[in-house]
Amino acid sequence: MNIHKTAIVHPKAQIEENVTIGPYCIVGEHVIIHSGTILEAQVFLDGWTEIGRDCHIFPFATLGTVPQDLKFQGEKSELKIGQGTVIREGVTAHRGTSGGGGITTIGDGCLLMAYAHVAHDCHVGNHVILANGIAMAGHVTIEDHASVGGLTAIHQFTRIGRYAYVGGASAVSKDVPPYGMAAGNRTKLYGVNSIGLQRKGFSQEAIENIKKAYRLLLSSHLNVSQAIARIEAEIDSPEVRYLVDFIKNSDRGICK
């Protein structure tokens, strides 16, 4: 371990080999940091927080502090961050609450840009990009490979589907379906994130199936239930089945 002499690390914190802790960092009693992770200067880690292997955390990030939830009564709750995730300057991520499952999670290979906020009981999937200044309310779910533009506000209990793209300065108050491209205050759905899907290696056939489903959803003058029935009858692919399941399981409804 490489721990700077000015860092304050609780003797009961679990620090694995090859961890670097820079100047003036503070690491609390219940924190676990796995091998290869780097804490730059003045990082604050508190509570029951676990940081996976090979993460890189930049100055003034504050992770694992108590949630901003008036119902929180000091109960044990967790923040868990996967491996290979980069957390830039000033990012905040809070622990969960007993009413929301008791844990906040951030997956593998994510990039959280400066001043992004991950609230209590949120679940951020793998390979997610959150741009500068994003504000997530509690209980938000962002699925794998989604990207969210800077200065976006996300309403509590909202979901953003896998491979979706949300433009900057948006206000997300309803679910954004997988593979979609949404923006605005409140967010509207503008079509398929085609470029993103191509970059992620989706086949042309898969992209065309998704586009056909979106045309039925957005451009057919059908309501959501009617569009889903048509999609299920006309298109059979794993990507589209996932899209249909996501919409069927939406509690807040989807943006359109």
- Alpha carbon distance 124, 144 (integer Å): 8
Minimal CA–CA distance to 129: which of 107, 157, 159? 107
Q: Classify 54 in phi/psi space as left (phi over 0), alpha (psi -120 to 50) or beta.
A: left
Q: In 3-state terms, what secondary structure has residue 115?
A: coil
- Amino acid making up residue 208: E
CB 34 within 8 A of CB 53: yes
Tell me the chain's radius of gyration from C-alpha atoms.
20
CB 124 within 8 A of CB 130: yes
> What's the DSSP call for residue 10?
-
Active site residues: 120-121, 138
Minimal CA–CA distance to 117: which of 81, 69, 152, 147? 152
- Alpha carbon distance 44, 65 (integer Å): 9
